[in-house]
Amino acid sequence: MPHTNTGSTLPGEAMPAADPALLNCRPRGADAMPVVMTVPSALAPDRAPAGSTPVVSLDRVERTFGDQTALAGLSFTVPARSITVLLGPNGAGKTTCTRVVTGALGPDGGTVRVFGLDPATDGPEVRRRIGIVSAKPALYDRLSGLDNLRYAAELYGLGRRDVAARRIREAAERFGIAGALDQQVGGYSTGMKTRLALARSVLHEPELVLYDEPTSGLDPESSYAVLELIREMTGQGNTVIMCTHLLLEAEGLADQVVMLQDGQSLVQGPPDELVRRYWPEHTVLVDAEDRTSLAALVGEPGVHDVRLRDDGPATVVVDDLARIPDLVHALARAGARVTRVEAERHSLEDLYFAVRRDSGENRIGEVVQ
């Protein structure tokens, strides 16, 4: 039997008018703000210091929908004040994972803890401390940006007008929409709507913010701007979980990645550390007009292996990348006309496809241990 949570929801998680908890409180204008509170009062919580108890912990979590398995023994932790990117193709389990974290879905098995609490039983308290932006954030197009934020402030329990006004002003300035708050949201660009949703997600000063495909539908410039704003959030004390299937979004943004496939974690950890574990050797790409001359590197001090190719540069395995000048000198002594010498760098994209390629082999287990 699927588990559902019928308690409080977060603004932006679903259209408020569709939520039974809101009854018939859809706003009709700037002077008709509802007074129904679906989220308890959200006073600024104390932030957990980095490196302390994880903000989120999943241990062998399972979730099915009928005969479809969405999460299959998923385990990972999210450190405080970090950006964790859930990376994987559509259907990998990313969105289901975030819904389990918020308590919108209960797990069929395993343990979920957020701030040390169980979202399935402590949902209101957990959601009081969470902000969320979905791929298609629910906004009221007929209201102004300001009225959208005022309504969200009411839902978050920011009852005092001075507190709500200050939070709205700070969030609007932080996400670059202060000059557009008086405009009707229906006239906003997709990028501006995303910025408004970002501002709304932090009104109650959450400790944890969840982003599900936050750049969906944005042009490259808007996507870059949104990702920069997310990057800055950890400096404000927030912990971020972001779902994406776009490798370039995760590159340079994630403090840790969790690569998902079929509801399971293939690998997880800091990207640079995972790359080092997957490719522990120091390798240098070397090419010359006459590739046979590259054999001169065999036996040079610090050179462990020279892998020659007919259709590309040789891969030279060295004990230290500081050996690169020595390689150039050795080739010069051999009369080689060198056209390329560079340390081989592996990107998150390289890692992603290597992991997916090897996911059925024992090497994955070796890399992540």
Backbone phi and psi for residue 218, each to the nearest 5 degrees, phi listed first: -90, 150
Residue range 57-76, pLDDT digits in tens: 999 999 999 999 999 999 99
Instruction: Using alpha carbons, select from 241, 228, 261, 257 the residue that is nearest to residue 201.
Output: 241
The CA-based dihedral angle spanning residues 225, 226, 228, 232, taken in that order and rounded to the nearest 10 degrees: 140
DSSP 293: G
- Region 280-343: CATH code: 3.30.70.100
Classify the phi-psi angles of 126: left when phi > 0, otherwise alpha if psi is within -120 to 50, otherwise beta.
alpha
Instruction: For Cα atoms 350, 243, 139, give the angle at the middle one, nearest 5 degrees.
Output: 145
Alpha carbon distance 330, 333 (integer Å): 5
The confidence band for 351, taking pLDDT boundaries of 50, 70 and 90, is: very high
The percent of residues in the chain predicted with pLDDT above 70, rounded, is: 83
Which residue type sits at 46? D
The per-residue pLDDT for 52 is: 65
Backbone phi and psi for residue 98, each to the nearest 5 degrees, phi listed first: -65, -35
- Give ranges for CATH 3.30.70.100 in the chain: 280-343
Across the chain, mean pLDDT equals 83
The per-residue pLDDT for 11 is: 55
Residue range 224-265, pLDDT digits in tens: 888 888 888 888 888 999 998 888 888 889 999 999 999 999
pTM exceeds 0.85 for this model: no
- Residue 83 pairs in a beta bridge with 240
**Residue 48 pLDDT exceeds 50:** no
Instruction: Using alpha carbons, select from 21, 28, 22 the residue that is nearest to residue 7.
Output: 21
Query: Residue 95 belongs to what H/E stretch?
Result: helix 94-102
- Chain-centroid distance of CA 345 in Å reads 23
The confidence band for 1, taking pLDDT boundaries of 50, 70 and 90, is: very low
pLDDT higher at 91 or 42: 91
Instruction: Using alpha carbons, select from 128, 47, 58, 30 the residue that is nearest to residue 82.
Output: 47
Alpha carbon distance 93, 69 (integer Å): 9
- Give ranges for CATH 3.40.50.300 in the chain: 16-274
Residue range 120-152, pLDDT digits in tens: 999 999 999 999 998 888 999 999 999 999 999
Pairing of strands 264-269, 256-261: antiparallel
Residue range 181-217, pLDDT digits in tens: 999 999 999 989 999 999 999 999 999 999 998 888 8
327-339: average pLDDT: 93
The confidence band for 35, taking pLDDT boundaries of 50, 70 and 90, is: very low
Alpha carbon distance 211, 254 (integer Å): 13
Q: Does the 16-274 domain belong in CATH 3.40.50.300?
A: yes
The per-residue pLDDT for 250 is: 87
